[in-house]
């Protein structure tokens, strides 16, 4: 049996910390959207664990969908170019949309996605992100529901990867440079 250990870097969020914060976010979203047609969109691949836990923490009827974009490839830094690789399957008309993301870093991807989704006719578009790195922001974007604000470090675990590995870690960690 392999035991995963957290790294020694500057960002260390335990499984318990992540679980507790996701529960709080679920309650906040439920309070904000009570009685409204709520639709969550998961940005694949990194947000899939966060999305799964978040929807279970929202005590409201809701629908969901998935989309995928690419701006990193196998690198650890964004290319700055956003490419849509999987589009939505459902209409957004008449729905309050929350875009669920793993991390908002430069803001370039989120800015692209917000513009794209607003053009699809939803009643509103909000953002829920597990992590935010404001020190790297190149484009300011609204974040309505945030798990944790972190320092500028390359992080992985809980859906975030290193060249497609380590997504299954139940915590978020970083390594010293």
So which residues are the catalytic ones? 105
DSSP 33-53: TTTS-EEEEEEETTTHHHHHH
Whole-angstrom distance, CA of residue 75 vs CA of residue 92: 32
Question: How far from 66 is each of 36, 83, 126, CA to CA, in Å?
Answer: 20, 15, 15
Whole-angstrom distance, CA of residue 115 vs CA of residue 152: 26
Helices and strands, counts by H and E, the chain = 3, 9
Please name the residue that has the structure tokens 């690419």.
Answer: 70
Whole-angstrom distance, CA of residue 130 vs CA of residue 145: 8
């Amino acid at each position: 049996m392999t035991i995963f250990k957290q790294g020694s870097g500057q960002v260390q969020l335990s499984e318990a910390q992540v679980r507790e914060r996701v529960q709080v976010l679920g309650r906040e979203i439920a309070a904000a959207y009570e009685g409204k047609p709520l639709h969550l969109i998961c940005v694949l691949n990194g947000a899939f664990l966060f999305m799964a836990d978040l929807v279970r923490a929202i005590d409201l009827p809701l629908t969901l969908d998935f989309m995928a974009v690419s701006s990193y490839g196998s690198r650890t830094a964004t290319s700055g170019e956003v490419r849509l690789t999987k589009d939505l399957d459902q209409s957004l008309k008449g729905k309050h949309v929350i875009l669920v993301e793993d991390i908002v870093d430069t803001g370039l991807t989120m800015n692209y996605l917000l513009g794209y989704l607003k053009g699809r006719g939803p009643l509103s578009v909000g953002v829920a992100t597990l992590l935010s790195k404001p020190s790297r922001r190149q484009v300011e974007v609204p974040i309505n529901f945030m798990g944790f604000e972190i320092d500028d470090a390359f992080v992985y675990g809980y859906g975030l990867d290193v060249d497609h590995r380590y997504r299954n870690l139940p915590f978020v960690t970083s390594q010293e440079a």
